[in-house]
A and B are shown apart, each in its own frame.
Chain A
Amino acid sequence: MQSTIEGAPAFAYINVDLEPGETVIAESDAMSSMAADLDMVAKFNGGFFGGLAKAFLGGESLFVNHFTNNTSSTRRVSLVQGTPGNTRQIDLNGNTFCLQPGAYIASTPGVNLGVKWAGFKSWFAKEGLFKLTVSGQGSVWYGAYGGLLEKEVDGEYIVDTSHLVAYEPQMQLKIQLAGGLFSSLAGGEGFVTRIEGKGKIIIQTRSLSGLADWLNPRLW
C-alpha cells in the first residue's frame, strides 16, 4: 500500500494505492473518488456496544467503509475529511495515540479503534466525554478544520479545548477556567484544557465553534 497526502495544508486529501488483496478502512462518506472495480463494504464499527459507544460519545459514525482491492493490479481510492484543513498520518507500532472525536479519517486493518473515558472534567468543555484511542499496528490518518501544528510539551501548557486535536497517551488533561469567572464568560474563552507531562500534542489552528462565533453575528 502506498499513500500520499495531497492538497495540504488547506484541503488535504489522501490518495491510497491498494495492491491486490489489500484493504483500507475509512469513516463514513470519506471517499471522494475511486477506481470503479474496488469493492466497498460498509461494516458496523466494531461490535454492537462498541459501535454505539463510539458513535454517540466519540463523534464518529456507526459505520465504516472497507475498501478492498479484489483485482489483480494496483487500484486507487481518494479519501477526505468533511471539513477543509490539514491531514496527518501516524504509524503505530504497538503504541497508542489519542484523538479528539471527529478527527479520525481512515486506518489500515491492524489498527484498533477504542473509546477512552475522559472523565467528568470534560463535560463542560462541550468536547464530549470521550476521546478516541487508536492502537495496534498500522497507519492512521486524522485531520481537523484548520492547519495542524505539533507542539512538544515539557511541564504544562494551556490549550483552548476546541483547538486540541491529538495527544500522546501519557499526557494528563485537566479542565480549568480561562481566567476569573467574569473573564472566562465575557472574554469568550470559557473553559480551557491544561496539559501536563512530557510529550507531543497536535493543535488545530481553527475550530468550527470559532467559525460559528464569527459567522453568527452576520446571520439574520
Chain B
Amino acid sequence: MQIEITHQPGNSAARVSLQAGETITAEGGAMIAMSGHIQVETTTHKRDKGSIMGALKRLVTGESLFLNHFTSNGGDGEVIFGTALTGDMMQFQMGSGPALMVQAGSYVASAPSVDMDMSWQGFGKALFSGESMFWIKLTGTGPVIINSFGAIYPIQVNGEYIVDTGHIVAFEESLNFEITKAGKSWMSSFLGGEGMVCKFIGQGTVWCQSHNAGSFGSALGPTLKPH
C-alpha cells in the first residue's frame, strides 16, 4: 500500500492506495471517500484477533468503539481518510524500533500487521495529566497514520524535556515521563496558566502538536449556542 498525506499541516487527509486484496484498518468515521469497489467490514475488534474486551478498552480510551477494515477487492483501489478537527497527519513506519505510545484520539489508521493495545499508565499519572487518560501502544510492523490538532513536530529527547500536556501526540516507549509543575513554584504554575506539564526523561522521540485543542475549544465555546 502507498500512503500520501496531503494538505499538511492545516487540513490533512491521507490518501491510501491499496493493491488488490490489501486491507487497511481505521477508526470509525475516518473515511472521507473511496473507490466504488472497496469492501468495508466493521468489527468490534481487530480482524482475526481480540474480543469484546478489546472493544471496551477502546471505548474507554476515547477511540470510537468500532474499527472499519477496508479491502480492495477485484483490483487496486483508494481510500481517503480525514478527521473531525483541522490539523496535521503523519505516517509512521513501525519496524524494529521501540513501541509507539499514541495519545487516545490521535490514532487514525494502520495496516493489519500493526498491533494495537490499550495500556494505561496507572491512575496516579493519568489523573493529573488532564488529557484523556489513556494511551494506545502500537507494536508490530507496517504503516500507521496519526493525526494531531496543530502542526506535528518531533523533539529528540536526550536527558529531559518538558511538553505541555495538551500538546503530546505520541512518544517512543523508551522514554519515561512524569507529570510535574511547570514553573518554579506552584503559584507560577497555576497563575501562569500552564498548570501541570509532562517532563520526558531518557532517550527517544516525542511528537508534539503545536496547538492545543482544549485552548481552542475554550476560546470558541463561549461564542456558541448554549445547550
Which residues of A come within 8 Å of B, CB atoms?
6-7, 9-13, 28-29, 31-37, 39-42, 61-65, 78, 80, 82-84, 208-209, 211-212, 215-216, 219-220
A135–B101 alpha-carbon span in the complex (Å): 45
Q: Give the residue of A33, A42, A61, A83 whose beta carbon is less than 8 angstroms from that of B208.
A: A33
Q: Are B151 and A6 in contact (CB under 8 A)?
A: yes
> What mask results when residues 179 to 194 of chain B are scored 1 for a CB within 8 Å of chain A, else 0?
0001110011101111
Is the CB–CB distance between B164 and A32 below 8 Å?
yes
CB proximity to A under 8 Å, residues B164-210: 164, 167, 182-184, 187-189, 191-194, 197, 199, 208-210
New contact pairs (9) apart from A11-B210, A212-B220, CB-CB < 8 Å:
A11-B10, A12-B210, A31-B197, A32-B210, A41-B183, A41-B184, A84-B10, A84-B149, A215-B224
Quote the shortest CB–CB distance from A207 to chain B (angstroms): 10
Q: Judging by beta carbons under 8 Å apart, are A83 and B216 in contact?
A: yes
What would 24 A/B residue contacts be, using CB atoms closer than 8 Å?
A: A7-B150, A7-B151, A10-B151, A11-B150, A13-B151, A29-B212, A29-B215, A32-B163, A32-B164, A32-B210, A35-B162, A36-B199, A40-B184, A40-B194, A41-B184, A42-B193, A65-B194, A80-B210, A80-B212, A82-B212, A82-B219, A212-B223, A212-B224, A216-B224
B187 contacts which of A29, A34, A42 (Cβ < 8 Å)? Answer: A42
The interface stretch among B21-29, B50-58, B128-136, B152-160 is B152-160
Task: Identify whether the interface residues of A are mostly helix, strand, loop, or mixed.
Answer: mixed
Q: Does B11 contact A (CB under 8 A)?
A: yes
A-B contacts, CB under 8 A, total? 137
Chain B residues whose CB sits within 8 angstroms of the CB of A82 once the complex forms = 211-212, 215-216, 218-219
The answer to the question of B92 belonging to the interface, with a C-beta cut-off of 8 Å to chain A, is no
- Rank and list the top 10 A-B pairs by shortest CB-CB distance, nearest first: A10-B10, A28-B193, A7-B151, A42-B192, A29-B193, A36-B160, A82-B215, A13-B210, A212-B223, A42-B191
Chain B's nearest CB lies how many Å from the CB of A204? 14
- Confirm or deny: B227 has a beta carbon within 8 angstroms of a beta carbon on chain A: yes
Contact partner, B219, options A9, A35, A65, A208, Cβ 8 Å = A208
Identify which of A33, A41, A62, A80 contacts B162 (C-beta below 8 A). A33
B224 contacts across to A, CB distance below 8 A = 212, 215-216, 219
| Complex Cα–Cα for A42 and B181 (A) | 13
- Identify A84's interface contact among B192, B211, B227, CB under 8 A: B211
CB of A29 within 8 A of CB of B160, answer no
Shortest Cβ gap from B57 to chain A (Å): 29
Residues on A with beta carbons closer than 8 Å to the beta carbon of B78 = none
- Chain A nearest CB from B11 CB (Å) reads 7
Q: Are B192 and A6 in contact (CB under 8 A)?
A: no
A9's closest neighbor in chain B, by CB? B10
- Chain B residues near A35: list those with CB within 8 A: 160-162
Of the residues A13, A33, A215, A219, contact of B163 by C-beta under 8 Å: A33
Q: Is B63 an interface residue (CB 8 A)?
A: no
Residues of A within 8 A of B223 (CB): 208-209, 211-212
Whether A11 lies near B211 (C-beta < 8 A) is yes
From residue A215, how far is it (CB to closest CB) to chain B in Å?
Answer: 6
